[in-house]
């Protein structure tokens, strides 16, 4: 973004009313000074319940809130606010980087998630982005309100056309009349190649005819449509964008033009994917975490109930792992865990799941085992013995040769157990039986 646009966004930001909710006094005072210089009015709450009451009374343009607060946390407050105003920008701050907060933030579609201690440059960038979005929405609203006077429409369109978002204008038959500079930068098509053509050139093929029929139905019925679409650049690259299409009508209600503004959200998608990955995968080994494991167990339970197949859970604990951490350091322990994760992958089938349960504990879920329990036990034991042999091989931890062994507990499941947690608990119990038997061995869970 150039300095002129930055200046425009900052000027627009100073016209907005901001609600700031934070329970920690020192942080609240410091950030309040920063925000007071960048907005028209600043409303301050000390918890989610108070913040919601202020929002209902004052109707601010933008909300900044801490996540963990007494009485009502920031996420619940955000949900309540979004129920009142679905489009209001929300920025969340927190000192905790737990995946569950990221996951809930994704569900809430917050505009920015800022980790404490707050970097004021990052916060200011988020504020300017929100102001930019509100400014663009306001411009579009004004565009729709002034269609009665063509000269006024052209004046407003000229201003909006300089926005950073891509924009194109078509006639009533969707033939492109004009595109702005951002359009060419995003799509790779210069203006001379697009004028006279239709937006069909940009279609990626990811959306079918039904999608476009619904889109045009919304435009024809409501006069506008806003959503996410996958388009294709001139170089063939497919990318996601948020787009808003508005129908411009004359005094008689006839459509004269369509105006479309869009923004490339490739980076937003990448960030969302990364947050989702953090919520379901272990960052050290890149294996599924226990949350994803139990999700897949739920699916396996349902499948087993339908087809009568058996499944198995293998609970694996690396023997004397604490000794490695205490003698060679945690970085060497991490190297061992990553190598164990890699080896476990080579011991199972594509349909199975290898998960890191925590610390030096791994859990493997085997699916589609034989309907006969004895045969299923035999299949699970073959894989378990393969794991024992594989994990007994020497490890090269940088320049250090290291030997380690696993203790493995196994539980067979049918899908009719009382809960998805039951076979994991049973395999854990069997693993401790393997420990008591001298380690470096495998034991099956048996009901006494």
Q: What's the chain's Rg over C-alpha atoms?
A: 29
Chain-centre distance of CA 155, in angstroms? Answer: 39
Query: How does pLDDT run across 323-372, given as a tens digit for each residue?
Result: 998 888 999 999 999 999 999 999 999 999 999 998 899 999 999 999 99
Helix (H, G, I), strand (E, B) or coil at 47: coil
* Residue 370 to residue 154: CA distance in whole angstroms: 72
Predicted pLDDT at 156: 56
In the chain, the domains with their CATH numbers are 3-136 (3.40.50.2300), 163-268 (3.30.450.20), 281-444 (3.30.70.270)
Count of alpha carbons within 13 angstroms of residue 445, beta-carbon side: 21
In the numeric block, the tokens 């009374």 are attached to 57
Query: How does pLDDT run across 230-283, given as a tens digit for each residue?
Result: 999 999 999 999 999 999 999 889 999 999 999 888 877 767 777 777 788 998
Tokens of 125: 């960038």
* Residue 334 to residue 141: CA distance in whole angstroms: 55
Query: What's the predicted TM-score (pTM) here?
Result: 0.47
Predicted pLDDT at 113: 80
What mean pLDDT value characterizes the chain? 88
Under the banding of pLDDT at 50, 70 and 90, the label for residue 41 is: very high
Under the banding of pLDDT at 50, 70 and 90, the label for residue 203 is: very high
């Amino acid at each position: 973004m150039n300095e002129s646009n930055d200046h425009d966004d900052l000027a627009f930001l100073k016209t907005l009313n901001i609600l700031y909710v934070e329970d920690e006094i020192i942080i609240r005072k410091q950030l309040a000074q920063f925000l007071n210089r960048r907005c028209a009015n600043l409303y301050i709450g000390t918890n989610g319940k108070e913040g919601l009451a202020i929002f209902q009374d004052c109707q601010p343009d933008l909300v900044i809130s801490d996540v963990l607060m007494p009485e009502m946390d920031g996420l619940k407050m955000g949900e309540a606010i979004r129920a009142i105003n679905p489009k209001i920008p929300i920025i969340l701050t927190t000192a905790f980087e737990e995946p569950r907060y990221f996951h809930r933030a994704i569900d809430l579609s917050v505009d920015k998630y800022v980790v404490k201690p707050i970097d004021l440059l990052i916060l200011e960038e988020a504020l300017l982005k929100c102001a930019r979005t509100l400014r663009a929405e306001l411009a579009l609203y004004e565009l729709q309100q002034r269609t009665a006077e063509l000269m006024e429409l052209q004046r407003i369109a000229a201003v909006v056309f300089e926005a950073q978002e891509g924009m194109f204008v078509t006639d009533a038959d969707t033939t492109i009349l004009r595109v702005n500079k951002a359009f060419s930068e995003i799509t790779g098509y210069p203006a001379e190649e697009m004028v006279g053509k239709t937006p069909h050139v940009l279609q990626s093929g990811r959306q079918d005819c039904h999608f476009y029929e619904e889109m045009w139905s919304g435009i024809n019925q409501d006069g506008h449509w806003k959503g996410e679409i996958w388009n294709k650049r001139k170089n063939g690259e497919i990318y996601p964008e948020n787009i808003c299409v508005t129908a411009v009508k004359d005094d008689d209600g006839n459509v004269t033009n369509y105006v479309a503004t869009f923004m490339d959200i490739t980076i937003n998608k990448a960030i969302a994917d990364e947050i989702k990955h953090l919520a379901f995968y272990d960052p050290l080994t890149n294996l599924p975490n226990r949350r994803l494991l139990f999700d897949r167990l739920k699916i396996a339970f349902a499948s087993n109930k339908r087809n009568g197949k058996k499944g198995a859970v293998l609970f694996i604990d690396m023997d004397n792992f604490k000794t490695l951490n205490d003698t060679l350091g945690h970085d060497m322990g991490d190297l061992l865990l990553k190598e164990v994760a890699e080896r476990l992958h080579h011991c199972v089938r594509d349909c199975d799941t290898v998960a890191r349960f925590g610390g030096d504990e791994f859990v493997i879920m085997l699916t589609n085992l034989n309907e006969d329990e004895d045969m299923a036990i035999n299949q699970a034991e073959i894989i378990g013995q393969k794991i024992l042999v594989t994990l007994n091989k020497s490890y090269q931890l940088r320049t250090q040769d290291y030997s380690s062994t696993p203790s493995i507990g196994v539980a067979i499941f049918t899908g009719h157990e009382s809960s998805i947690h039951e076979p994991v608990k049973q395999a854990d119990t069997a693993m401790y039986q393997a420990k008591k038997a001298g380690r470096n061995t495998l034991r099956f869970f048996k009901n006494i």
